Structure 1
Amino acid sequence: MSVPAAHARLEPFRLRGANFNLLVLRLLDPRPEAVIPALADQFRRAPGFLRFAPLVIGLDDLEGGGQGVDFVTLAAELRRIEITPIGTVGGSPELRAAAQGAGLPPLRTAGGKEEAVPLAPAQNAPPPPVTEPALSASHAPVEGARPTMVIDHAVRAGQRIWAQGADLIVNGTVNPGAEVIADGNLHVYGHLRGRAIAGGADNLDARVFALNFDPELVSIAGYYAVRDGLADAPIGKAVQVRLVGENMRFDRLG
């Protein structure tokens, strides 16, 4: 049976590099029984923030090289609490090899050099479960860097908007369950009730501005606070959020 000319292609797929906004779980303790309960507690305090999120495991902060990490158990326990580990960064060649044997390949940052990983016998790691995403994500495609992305409507629960390589301005409410992400600064000219993430590309100088500040979660360059931890913030007021060292500061505007 011949293939109609309109559907014929020279190749069945194409591969291209891309950058993604990923969370890094920097391991300070190699024991899954210590890491998972603490992470699950954060998960309960910010429901929806980490659910089915792709996560990279950082290995550089483990004392003594982190020998003896049980990557099979760690990956299985992360999936059990609905977090999806996709690989590792950093660590010694031996540690990266152990992780790769558990189905967690080494990743490299954009522009980084490929690192050799010695072969290791594969552990009996179960394949990751196929899950439907909890929320329908709305990523705004960006070809190259853009100075500012402007959204002239409210962001509904379940929506995610990411200003890649740009500032983000939202002229409307960010509703509970919605997520707005900017690699630069984030401005919300309305009620901020969802999750707000600025400095998505490790920009420590990024800031969050909101006319009515009442978020489920606010984050700058990986440092974040959930609603329970905002007791000292001026909730319901016009606020600027910025980092001072590793501490998040909340200043009233006007």
Structure 2
Amino acid sequence: MAVDYEQAGELKIGQVGIANLRIRTLDVPRLVEEMRSRVQRAPNMFGRAAVVIDFGGLSHAPDTASAQALLDGLRAAGVLPVALAYGTSEIEKLSQALGLPLLAKFRASYERADGGAAEAAPAVAVAPAVRREAVAAAPTVAEPAAASRSPAAPAAAASSSSVGLIQAAPVRSGQQIYADNRDLTVLTTVGAGAEVIADGSVHIYGPLRGRALAGAQGNAKARIFCREFHAELVAIAGRYKVLEDIPKELRGKPVQVWLEDEQIKIAALD
């Protein structure tokens, strides 16, 4: 008997740190066990994390009873299903039956009901657990723009240009810095519990102890570079690795992170 090594659910990290669980096999016990394992391996990342359920990987929408069993199982596994991802009219009816919101265009790219590929779309701006400190992109920028102040942390000294966003002050626990449609450069530390996100690449000239997400709008060519690697999580175009999955010999080293064949690759920099 052939062994199926493919995961039943493909977990991807969205632009605002909300996880998108794309269901590829409607095997509820297996999906629940996979999620329980993720929570146990990285409780700080996935414990009580908001999750959007995406049934777009199935040939048809599940019935209400199966979908409800999945939601109950995921809650028991330690995460919090908060919505369904946009799909067909069947998914819309299912969201109403389950009492969950439907997030249109949550994925960076999604499939139309006729099976064709739709154009890239931004993630829905659901309020994250920490406030985003963003500088909007503009065709030309004459002067640096200051990032907004987070209520949970001191002001972050950041400036933007048409090339990228530069974060001069340390990014502390509870802060989230987002570079809209550009690269992000952090000149100092990204602390544990902090999150840096860019639609382009992320460059960190100090220790990375929190989370770094590059290619937030689906740019698979984006990369992450850091001088001292202790990341809780790194992600590119939604694909991710947590610290527990990273070889110990890379921890504390200068590394680069990139996407190859839809897999996260991490290598030490010479």
What is the TM-score with the length of structure 2 in the denominator? Answer: 0.69
Work out whether 1:85 is the aligned partner of 2:82: yes
Over 3 Å counting, the alpha-carbon distance change for 1:231 and 1:79 in structure 2 is same
Which residue number corresponds to residue 63 of structure 2? 68
Over 3 Å counting, the alpha-carbon distance change for 1:189 and 1:20 in structure 2 is closer
Give 1:185 shift.
0.5
CA contact 2:164–2:182 (8 Å) conserved in 1: yes
1:98-137 equivalence runs, <5 A = 98-109=94-105, 137=130
Give the AA of the match of 1:141: A
Give 1:37 shift.
2.3
CA displacement, residues 149-182 of structure 1 (integer Å, 9 cap, x when unaligned): 2111222222222223221111111122222111
CA displacement, residues 88-120 of structure 1 (integer Å, 9 cap, x when unaligned): 233x4334422331023433228999x89xxxx
Over 3 Å counting, the alpha-carbon distance change for 1:246 and 1:143 in structure 2 is closer
Give 1:61 shift.
1.2
1:234-249 equivalence runs, <5 A = 234-249=250-265
Which residue number corresponds to residue 139 of structure 1? 132
Give 1:190 shift.
0.4
- C-alpha separation in 1, matches of 2:61 and 2:266: 36
Which residue number corresponds to residue 184 of structure 1? 200
CA displacement, residues 167-226 of structure 1 (integer Å, 9 cap, x when unaligned): 111111112222211121111100111111111111111100001112121111111111
Backbone CA RMSD of aligned residues:
3.0
CA contact 2:83–2:102 (8 Å) conserved in 1: no
What is the TM-score with the length of structure 1 in the denominator? Answer: 0.73
Give 1:51 shift.
4.2
Over 3 Å counting, the alpha-carbon distance change for 1:156 and 1:201 in structure 2 is same
Work out whether 1:94 is the aligned partner of 2:90: yes
Give 1:232 shift.
6.8
- C-alpha separation in 2, matches of 1:147 and 1:155: 20
Q: Which has the larger radius of gyration?
A: 1
**Partner secondary structure for residue 177 of structure 1:** coil
**Partner secondary structure for residue 49 of structure 1:** helix
Unaligned runs of 5+ in 1: 1-18, 117-132
Over 3 Å counting, the alpha-carbon distance change for 1:143 and 1:226 in structure 2 is closer
**Partner secondary structure for residue 180 of structure 1:** strand
1:41-52 equivalence runs, <5 A = 41-52=37-48
Which residue number corresponds to residue 55 of structure 1? 51
